[in-house]
Amino acid sequence: MYRFLFSSKWLGYLLLAAIFATACVFLGRWQMDRRAESLAEINRITSNYSATPLPFAEVRDQFSRLDPHREWTQVELKGSYDTAGQRVVRNRPLNGQPGYEVVVPFRLETGETVVINRGWLPIGNDNPGRPDSVPAPPAGNVTVVARLKHAEPELQRGAPDGQLASIDLAAYSTQLGYPLLTGAYGQLATESPAVADMPIAFPKPSTEEGTHLSYSLQWFAFGVLMFIGFGYAARQQARNAAIDAEDAEELADGGFHHSSGPVARRRHPPRKRKNATPEEEEDAILDAQGY
């Protein structure tokens, strides 16, 4: 009954179904991987973002090579800003608005220098390609609480004087002419003494999981539905083939009666095929009437 499944046409359909289902599984697993990354980031934010700040001595190695699990850890730093080394980082949108971020070298009491990202500025109205003004950090000795963030890769594009294309700490150090700790920088949480004119503070990162799980389940469901559709089509094909075989058998046996010679053929009501077109139904009615 289902021997047609071994025909080249139906084997081709099966191959297409398998390819489509494999693609759906791949996309579903990709969404699951993205969900795992999102959950790991949420866990880091939940654990580190508002935890008690640690002294620099305890996390000094993180500024050289940041452990991903320590991202967003709060660190207390004491020293002074190098205002002359201040830069703005271009192409940094916030809440859908274009703008800049302000980074400043911070020389610690130990003599080492880290980079502090003090916040965000909107694009300027007076000077295209620059913020209208860049607030200066507090002078003298400052106590900073900052959250650890990974250094960024170099971008294959330049930036005007006084600007950076990315927070590439190695390139920044080259510009400054003195060494920086280049494994991580600090995103400003608080500084003391405070100044009135400040860049806009960064909002807390989102802890929403997103839609990765639902998308993943949808892709897996599509893969299963493809085989269900294939099975349904094969069942309908087998049904239609059985109807054709039964009609052919009745036509072959109904033309003559063995004991009394030719008899009138019985008219059978037309059979409707599953999913038959109106033209096919009309042909079946005419065949039954002898036309």
Which amino acid, residue 49?
Answer: Y
Q: Quick: pLDDT tens for 240-258.
A: 877 877 777 778 776 544 4
pLDDT at residue 159, as a whole number: 85
| CATH code linked to domain 49-192 | 2.40.50
Q: What pLDDT is attached to residue 271?
A: 54
Between helix 8-48 and helix 212-253 the angle, nearest 10°, is: 160
* CB < 8 Å & 24+ apart, contacts of 14-20: 14/230, 17/226, 17/227, 17/229, 17/230, 20/222, 20/223, 20/226
Q: What is d(CA 2, CA 49) in angstroms, rounded to the nearest whole number? A: 62
- Global confidence as pTM: 0.67
SS (H, E, C) 81-97: ECHHHCEEECCCCECCE
For residue 263, the model assigns a pLDDT of: 47
Q: Checking DSSP bridges between strand 142-150 and strand 256-257, what pairing results, if any?
A: unpaired
What residues have CB less than 8 Å from 8, skipping those under 6 apart? none
Condensed to tens digits (0 to 9), the pLDDT of residues 113-146 reads 999 999 999 998 887 788 989 999 999 999 999 9
Alpha helices in 49-176 (DSSP H): 56-59, 169-176
**pLDDT at site 121:** 95
Tokens standing for 59?
């996390």
CB-neighbour burial class of residue 120 (10 A; exposed 0-12, middle 13-18, buried 19+):
buried
| Helix, coil or strand: residue 131 | coil
Low-confidence ranges of the chain (pLDDT < 70): 1, 254-291
d(CA 235, CA 232): 5
